[in-house]
Structure 1
Amino acid sequence: MTFEDFRRSMGHSSRPVRNEIEKGAIRRFAAAIGDFNPRYHDDSRRSDGRLLAPPTFSRTFEYGSIEGLTFAREGLIHGEQSFTYYEPLYSGMTVFCSTTLRDVYERVGSLGAMIFLVYGQEVRNADGDLLEESTSVIIFRDKEVAL
């Protein structure tokens, strides 16, 4: 894809994708990041038996694809990521996640021409309330990209 191809997709979003938050997934994620805090492992700590999800757990969700925005994922570089949390996520919740291509810009670095893709992700509950949002920057390099 060219810079202009990416620019045409700017502002487009995926359709929201339904995700179920499961206890086993929370436990596996917490163990994988080396966080053995009982809030993420011991469901007897809460009267409702739910587990709290660790802060970056939402990266395991499916966010869908932006129609028409398809390109090879090999060689992509993860630039940066930030999160804003509004409500905690717990096991047993159903959430709806989507992604939007918010911005596209070009830079030339020591590795040559690069296209920066700025994505915004949202996690909402069934009522549409925003629970969490994040921004991620992905760097796309292609031999055909020229500035």
Structure 2
Amino acid sequence: MTQASFLTPQVMSIVGEQTEPRHGKIDAHQIRKFAAAIDDPNPIFTDESAARAAGFAGIVAPPLFNASATRPVPFRSGLLADGQYDSAAPPGLTHLQTMLAGQHWDLVRPAIAGEDIVEVFTTKSITEKQGKTGNIVFVEKEATLTTPAGEVIERYGSTLILRAPPPPLPPYAAPEGEAAATASRPATEWTDDGFIKSPDMVTMFMFAAAIWGVHRIHWDTPYAQAEGLPLPILPGWGLSSYLAELAGSRAPAGQRLRRIDVRYRSSAFPGDALHCTAAPAAEGEGDLALGIVNQHGAQVATGSAAFSD
């Protein structure tokens, strides 16, 4: 039986609309929180003298930090029951489960602590397809971050999936010895082809706090299970930040990360060992092919990175 379409005139009314500008400031203390959350010790993110020695005017924001500086901070009445912003989904679809399918960033230049920034979102498209468990809605959004004078700092976009949540799961029972194994692993372990990130519930909290990630699937275990997830999931933004850190470490001499595209293939959970890799990309697909595989061999994310002077 065909399900009635979610794409009502009310839903489609926001296509092409721009949000009111969001204002923020690139703050050194918030930069440090973000860098700590992804376990990136690059001194240009925390030490002004190191940043100036590297040729910057001050402490540098990590590549994917900037949008956290413009996140709205409403009172509780401005958030949905699941902790999401009431503007996260199109009007009339806030009852659906929301997940990120992918993100991409065009990094025009690094942002420096102390700068004021302005962000404007545009809903580019809303489409729908039939899935195994019902209709799935795809929302494409793009944002531009500029200085108050209009200089573009970055552009980024996201693909949001909305669908009816799957049946809830029973309480999670961790395999014997899992907690001890997770605690014994370093947060970052470098390998020949990249590194392994081992997020736990503490680092999950750190990242959610750094981006003001209030969506309950990222920090509330009973709620995540009610949404059909075994545990809270690491935000896709965090996975992309891991890959941006790795790509930045592979930048050719005299170049910097200019673009990163990431597709999310499956969820990452606290306790996972996430093997992040970078390898030369096929011709025409960027400079690096990026990937994340968990300890079970499941592909968590794929992507690409490109560099420029």
1:78 alignment partner, one of 81, 100, 104: 100
Whether the 8 Å CA contact 2:96–2:164 is kept in 1: the answer is no
Aligned to 1:128: 150
Structure with larger Rg: 2
Q: SS at 2:23's partner residue?
A: strand
**Aligned counterpart, 1:59:** 67
Q: Are 1:115 and 1:139, in contact at CA under 8 Å, matched by a contact in 2? A: yes
The answer to which of 126-135 and 107-116 deviates more is 107-116
- Asked if 1:41 is matched to 2:46, the reply is yes
Q: Does 1:2 align with 2:6?
A: yes
- Tell me how far 1:18 sits from its aligned partner: 1.1
Counterpart of 1:22 in structure 2 is 27
Q: Secondary structure at the match of 1:39?
A: helix
1:140, CA displacement in angstroms?
1.2
Count of residue correspondences: 141
Q: Distance in 1 between matches of 2:120 and 2:36?
A: 26
The partner residue of 1:98 within 112, 116, 120 is: 120
Check 1:50–1:73 CA distance in 2 against 1; reply closer, same or farther (3 A cut): farther
Shift of 1:98: 1.4
Cα distance, 1:73 vs. partner? Answer: 7.0
Partners of 1:63 and 1:104 in 2: CA distance: 22
CA contact 2:35–2:62 (8 Å) conserved in 1: yes
Is 1:50 matched with 2:58? yes
Q: CA deviation at 1:17?
A: 1.2
What is the deviation of 1:50? 1.8
SS at match of 2:104: strand
Which string of whole-angstrom CA distances, capped at 9 and with x for unpartnered residues, describes residues 80-134 of structure 1?
A: 0000011111100000011110111111222321110000011011111211001
Quote the residue 1:141 is aligned against.
163
Q: 1:108 and 2:116 equivalent?
A: no
The SS at the match of 1:52 is coil
* Larger fraction in strand: 1
The SS at the match of 2:144 is strand
- Whether the 8 Å CA contact 1:63–1:97 is kept in 2: the answer is no
Amino acid at match of 1:3: L
- Runs of 5+ in structure 1 lacking a partner? none
1:53 touches 1:90 (CA, 8 Å); kept in 2? Answer: yes
CA RMSD of superposed structures (Å)? 2.4
% of aligned pairs identical? 23
Q: Which has the higher contact order (CA 8 A, sep 6+)?
A: 1
Unaligned residue ranges in structure 2 (runs of 5+) = 73-85, 166-309
What is the CA–CA distance in structure 1 between the aligned matches of 2:71 and 2:6, rounded to whole Å?
Answer: 23
SS at match of 1:127: coil
